[in-house]
Amino acid sequence: MNRILSTAGVEFRIALRNRWVAIAVLLMVVFALVLAAAGAAPTGDIGADRLSVIVASLTSLAVYLVPLIALLMSFDAIAGEVERGTLPLLLTYPVSRAQVLAGKLLAHLAILTLAVCAGYGAAAGAAFWMDPASVAGLPALLRLVASSVLLGATFLGAGYALSALARRPSGAAGLAVGLWLGAVVLYDLVLLALIVSDGGGALTTQGLPFALLANPADAFRLFNLAAAEASAAAGGMGGAAAAIPLWQSALSIALWPLLALMLAVAAFRKVTP
């Protein structure tokens, strides 16, 4: 355990000095505040408290930003050690590869949690200030924080796996960008195209829920929108969120980090220094 904590401490210090902590926190705070200001308009129409509406907006923000920040922090984790030439020495120490990854994960997850809390906290603060009834949206906010951290862990694990597979930082960065585009942007577009061409057939009714649950980013959206019951404010995803039971999306976002980390450890074990 000491080895994991020491690794985490060192990684956190490195991230602090490389300004990653500042960049992640700033990014989340700025975008969350913009959303808090912009998302204030529709409250009157739907009768939800202001915070619940903001949570729905933050969900759409987090689904892009959290994976991006996670991948940016993790793509260098192993490829960087290979390039600097620090990996061979590290691997002669009495520390397992899983422990090394666990230490890095702990540090990166702490930074991500910090950024998420700062961003959502700022948006929530703005909501409370404008509408004291926002307290009703607090459980939804806490669920959003917890699921954002899990989503971040998934993409951190995926980033480590890509980093181990690529072995060069430049290659790992390319793979990370590809994964982000694929999982967060293109996946939904492809699903949309399929639904349109399927015209409400079996693919839409049976395949779609599974396809949504299989993608951690979509499962994250489903979970937060279904749980917050503010689906009306989120538009398109609302219908799907209502059709898929909450436990299924919760299971998906809880299992994905484990799967991603197992992949990362397996990929790291294949690296010969």
Partner 1 sequence: MTSTLTISHLTKRFAGVEALRDVSLTVEAGQRVALLGHNGAGKSTMMKIILGLIPFDEGAVTVCGAAPGSAAARAQVAYLPENAAFHPALTGEEQIRHYLSLRGERPAQALDLLARVGLEGAAKRRIGTYSKGMRQRVGLAQALIGRPRLLVLDEPTSGLDPVSRRDFYALLDDLAAGGTAILLSSHALTEVEARTDRILILSGGRLMAEGSLADLRRKAALPVAISVAPAQGQKAALSAALPMARANGDGRLHLDIAQGDKLAILARITGLPQVEDLEVIPPSLEDIYSHFSRRDGQ
Spatial distance between the Cα atoms of 194 and 192, rounded to a whole number of angstroms: 5
- Closer residue to partner 1, CB minimum distance, 97 or 221: 97
Which of 47, 85, 199, 239 forms a contact with partner 1 (CB under 8 A)? Answer: 85
Binding of partner 1 by 95 (CB under 8 A): yes
Site residue total, partner 1 (CB under 8 A): 24
Segment contacting partner 1 (CB under 8 A): 63-71, 93-101, 121-129, 158-166? 93-101
Nearest to 121 by CA among 142, 136, 147: 142
Segment contacting partner 1 (CB under 8 A): 5-13, 39-47, 154-162, 177-185? 5-13
- Closer residue to partner 1, CB minimum distance, 88 or 132: 88
- Closer residue to partner 1, CB minimum distance, 2 or 47: 2
- Closer residue to partner 1, CB minimum distance, 235 or 273: 273
Phi, psi of 266, deg, nearest 5: -65, -40
Segment contacting partner 1 (CB under 8 A): 80-88, 141-149, 197-205, 236-244? 80-88
Binding of partner 1 by 269 (CB under 8 A): no
| Whether the Cβ atoms of residue 219 and residue 252 lie closer than 8 Å to each other | yes
**How far, rounded to the nearest angstrom, does the alpha carbon of residue 267 sit from its chain's CA centroid?**
21
Nearest to 104 by CA among 9, 2, 1: 9
Spatial distance between the Cα atoms of 70 and 32, rounded to a whole number of angstroms: 17
Binding of partner 1 by 245 (CB under 8 A): no
Spatial distance between the Cα atoms of 147 and 237, rounded to a whole number of angstroms: 17
Residue list 196-235, contact with partner 1 (CB under 8 A): none
Long-range contacts of 202-207 (CB under 8 A, 24+ apart): none
Spatial distance between the Cα atoms of 10 and 122, rounded to a whole number of angstroms: 28
Binding of partner 1 by 7 (CB under 8 A): yes
- Kindly state the tokens that stand for 257: 């980090």
Residues that bind partner 1 (CB under 8 A): 2-3, 5-7, 9-10, 13-14, 17-18, 84-86, 88-89, 91-96, 272-273
